[in-house]
Amino acid sequence: MPDLKNDFDCAATMRTGRYWMPFTANRYVNAQGEARVLTAARGAYYTMGDGHKVFDSLSGLWCTPLGHGNPRIAQALYDQATSLDFAPSFQLANPGAVRLAERIANMAPAGLEHVFFANSGSEAVDTALKIAIGFHKLRDEGGRFRLIGRERGYHGVGLGGMSVGGIVPNRKMFATVMVPGVDHIRHPYDHARMAFSRGQPQCGAEMADDLERLVALHDASTIAAVIVEPVQGSTGVLVPPVGYLQRLREICTQYGILLIFDEVITGFGRMGENFAAQRFGVRPDMITFAKAITNGIVPMGGVIVTPEIYNTFMTGPESAIEFAHGYTYSGHPLAAAVAHVVLDIMEEDNLLSKVRALEPVLEEAIHSLRDLPHVHDLRNIGLTAAIELKPREGKPGARGLEVFERGVQHGLLLRVTGDTISFGPPFISTPEQLRDMGANLHRIIATVA
């Protein structure tokens, strides 16, 4: 037995496979040992197992926009843990969660006013899907059972989120447990017309009309909701064409279909507004959020809904539970305490304007790579961007992996999926850090075969 307290050898224990990592090539990563271990984090940098620092180009997993090691957040955690560390959320409230719901409702687009807390993006999504089903049932439209997602969408790994998701490797093993009746509209990306767009592509709004196809196929009376990420994050930052989300909204309104924006990545500032819904000027019926609300420090997620949805549930005997759904840790006092400090810091440090100011810097850094070999597309919006590399002949993902490994060696932690690199740097990044990142990427990509 290894001595786990004194002489713990992380790399050696990784090789035993004891720790089964999520969304990971476990055998490959375990063999890399310390080259794949993060041991500390401060500001916009992580420290790797061998002690060298890497720029955190995706804010953790899109979730730490304020950077790492903020003493105010640590203090808030300590204070909350020593005053009210846990409070049951069934039939009982706690002040932090109540005030947070009020605060989030005030930040959300007008008309989204009630907040249901969960603990992750996946839970937020499954909660929203259940709310959609319940809403129609309570209005005697229980025939509306279909949920519509989108190709290349990512909505987490719950059975609901996986079913409406559209990333093939996440789905193919689980075909037998998909939620019945789910269908997908096409994704809004057309490389031939959109490659190298800066911000929103000018063409492609008509791709939203694909929802009409599903309405014609299934009949609107069977469709409960459509869920989309306003900007498709996990598949590599697919930006909605100008007018696309508006068109989706119109079709949903026309047929009485609820529109859910999954803002787990875009919520709380990444688009330079509180929510992407505000940036794109489209109001959905529900917004799911997670990640940035607590700067990734304590898990939290949630759903914001309209009064129409909330009030539909608030019927029946007053002493009866209206929505038989919730999590032990919904509205957790520690998460709420951290969320309040995160929102305080975002306000005090004017981080939304900072994101807006950094957007053209990131855009320039990414699009400066255009003439490099193997660059197939470059995309950006808000403080997100993606580089799509051409796959090596017969070896998809090999070029991306090499870029990842060189990145770590050269001080850059990259989020690579296949041959696509996604970026969501911290809001506290300086323009110089983003420019350095661009220059570093230039060197790395130029030398990758």
Ligand X SMILES: Cc1ncc(COP(=O)(O)O)c(C=O)c1O
Amino acid at 269: G
User: What's the count of helices (H) and strands (E) in the chain, helices before strands?
Assistant: 17, 15
**At its nearest, how many Å lie between ligand X and the CB of residue 156?**
3
**At its nearest, how many Å lie between ligand X and the CB of residue 425?**
16
Q: How far apart are CA 442 and CA 445, in angstroms?
A: 5
Of 135 and 154, the one with the shorter C-beta distance to ligand X is: 154
**3-state DSSP call for residue 350?**
coil
Amino acid at 185: I
**At its nearest, how many Å lie between ligand X and the CB of residue 258?**
17
Q: How far apart are CA 430 and CA 123, in angstroms?
A: 33
Q: What is the DSSP letter of 179?
A: P
The torsion defined by the Cα of 186, 187, 188 and 194, in degrees rounded to 10, comes to -120
**At its nearest, how many Å lie between ligand X and the CB of residue 155?**
5
Of 229 and 419, the one with the shorter C-beta distance to ligand X is: 229
Q: Which pairs count as long-range contacts for 198-204, CB under 8 Å and 24+ apart, including other chains?
A: 198/363, 198/367, 198/380, 199/239, 199/363, 199/380, 199/381, 200/239, 200/240, 200/241, 200/242, 200/381, 201/239, 201/241, 201/242, 202/241, 202/242, 203/241, 204/241, 204/244
Of 272 and 424, the one with the shorter C-beta distance to ligand X is: 424
**At its nearest, how many Å lie between ligand X and the CB of residue 33?**
26
CB atoms within 10 A of CB 212: 15
**At its nearest, how many Å lie between ligand X and the CB of residue 279?**
15
Contacts of 265 (CB under 8 A, 6+ apart): 62, 229, 231, 233, 234, 291, 384, 424
Site residues (vs ligand X, CB under 6 A): 120-122, 125, 154-156, 229, 233-234, 262, 264-265, 290
Q: What is the DSSP letter of 414?
A: -
Q: Which residue is nearest to ligand X (CB)?
A: 121
**At its nearest, how many Å lie between ligand X and the CB of residue 436?**
26
Of 162 and 444, the one with the shorter C-beta distance to ligand X is: 162
